[in-house]
A = this chain, B = another copy of it.
Amino acid sequence: MKVPPDLISFLKKNDNFFIATHISPEPDALGSSLALSMALESLGKKTIVYDRDTVPEFYRFLPGYEKFIYSTAQAQTSACNLILLDCNTPDRAGIDGLVFRSSTVIDHHETEKGFGDLRWIVPDAAATGMLIFSLIKELGTAITKDIAVNLYAAIAIDTGTFRYTNTTADVLRVAAELINAGAVPASISDSLYNIWSEGRFTLLIASLNTLDIRDGVAFTHVTQAMYQKTRTGPEDTENFANLPRTMKHIKVSAFFRQIGKNYWKASLRSKGALNVAEIAVSFGGGGHRNAAGYTFKGNFEAAKEGLLKALRKSS
């Protein structure tokens, strides 16, 4: 990955950086921010690492996560050079309105907004972590074990641990280099995927028991009674929509979780060309082509029938 020379010289010339990433952070946002902070500090620079939201409990295996601050009240941002990571507008990081000395964007998401004095946006990059890896190599500082773990987790999460279409030979070569630098793949995978509570697993089984397949759509759901029985909550249903996609003939997996009486949150996962974002928008929601969601008021049977009707209309 070719790093813009003006970005390198900018980082070398300046001393104070405010690294910010998006709200609801996941390991690409967190790991990229921490790795960049560590590399810059090894050059004697001062860095602040910021997220509006706290680092979720289950991502606190990332070395240095305690560097994150969650308030800008004490930060003299006007003396700092902003580096926005894994997003490209201040509002995605919850820092709109703050004044910085300069602003730099490093991201792999598509953009139309044009924010930033310096911009390095590579939509083809599998993860922002891939860009930070190249950047650190170009800066000439060491890939320490802590940096390696952060970047490996960043790349692993955004490629589905090397299962998604963005998994390239380059991704695996970088991952191999990070292992040599001290990242332990199985330990990071366990930290990312094998930390479910027994209640969460029991809730998954309960949701799978509701499986109902109609017209190539796999419906599953959880009710508030199921949360109570398993001592779980809505955050435990993360990724529940994915498993039914395992079935070859399923075009959409539709997972519904109950928000209230006759009130549901739908998570849709599709395969290939089927665009569920359009469906979600038609219900007032949104998302990406293969992963989208919306809320629905009505009984569960109406929710199912409404989705099937919308899918028939769109095809």
Contact = CB atoms under 8 A, between A and B. Distances in A.
A141 B176 CA distance: 25
A205 B201 CA distance: 12
A214 to B, nearest CB: 12
Interface string A167-196: 111101101110110000110011001111
A247 interface: yes
Interface in A237-255: 244-249
A76 interface: no
A208 B194 CA distance: 16
Nearest to A163: B189
Contacts of A161: 161-163
Contacts of A248: 194-197
A166 B185 CA distance: 9
A211 interface: yes
A110 interface: no
Contacts of A172: 172-173, 175-176, 179
6 contacts: A190-B271, A194-B246, A194-B247, A198-B249, A201-B211, A202-B211
